[in-house]
Amino acid sequence: MSDALIEFIKDSYKTGKTHKEIRSILEESGWPSELVNEALDQFVDRSSEVAIPKPIIFASPRLVALNIFFFLVLYLSIYNVVAILFTFLDYYLPDGIGRTRGAFYSYKPIGTALRGYLASVICCVPLVWFSNRVIIKAISVTKQRVPRIRLKLIYLTMFIGACVLLGNAIYFIYYFLSGELGLRFLIKVIILSLLISGLFIFYNIEIKQTEKKA
């Protein structure tokens, strides 16, 4: 929401203008009617010397809990899918020297590790889909804007992604300099980089759309 627009509406109240008058002035000056309506919706439509703000319902605790849960199951799903992929690589491309194991190296037998990851993926992936649906429904029913917690968690996700990418790059160069750049490690680095890039692109789109609305 533009601060300038809000300031203008507040100033207009002081001169005794009504919502209708303010709306027509703004729309004539080229403000999109959606933005004008959204801005005016924040104030009570009554002639008064000062702008009376409408009580705003902030993101309900339900949405906060749902979003935290959504990101929790999302993280678990991503971790376990990547772990399965890495276990596949450990199985199909055994490393002779056994030194460049990369991340997620499991000391457990491959079968035991895979069953654990598989169980988590089967539980978490449907929950990602389900909780996302519930969130979208809750947002559209309550007509709330994207709750602040969601934006915070998206940025947290991107922050973690950036850290993983950084660690990835450092490891890559370290192994390269040690002359241990095996095929398996290379594929692991590529998988992580693709995953993080996908996350970045996906959430960048959501953030941009949210900012456009705001």
Taking the C-alpha atoms of residue 71 and residue 63, their distance in angstroms, rounded to an integer, is: 12
Q: Is 77 in the site for other proteins (CB under 8 A)?
A: yes
Stretch that binds other proteins, among 113-121, 162-170, 171-179, 182-190 (CB under 8 A): 113-121
Q: Is 125 in the site for other proteins (CB under 8 A)?
A: yes
Applying CB under 8 A, which of residues 9, 66, 81, 192 lies at the interface with other proteins?
Answer: 81
Stretch that binds other proteins, among 44-52, 110-118, 133-141, 150-158 (CB under 8 A): 110-118
Applying CB under 8 A, which of residues 84, 135, 192, 196 lies at the interface with other proteins?
Answer: 84
Taking the C-alpha atoms of residue 132 and residue 115, their distance in angstroms, rounded to an integer, is: 26
Q: Which helix (H) or strand (E) holds 16?
A: none
Q: Is 190 in the site for other proteins (CB under 8 A)?
A: no
Applying CB under 8 A, which of residues 88, 130, 155, 174 lies at the interface with other proteins?
Answer: 88
Smallest gap from residue 159 Cβ to other proteins (A): 19
Closer CB to other proteins, 7 or 211, in the complex: 211
Burial (Cβ within 10 Å: 0-12, 13-18, ≥19) of residue 203: middle
Q: Which long-range contacts (CB under 8 A, 24 or more apart) does 156-165 make?
A: 156/71, 157/71, 157/74, 157/75, 157/199, 157/203, 158/199, 158/200, 158/203, 161/196, 161/199, 161/200, 162/196, 164/192, 164/196, 165/192, 165/193, 165/196
Which residues contact other proteins by CB under 8 A? 77, 81, 84-85, 88, 91, 98, 107-112, 114-115, 117-118, 121-122, 125, 198, 201-202, 205-206, 208-209
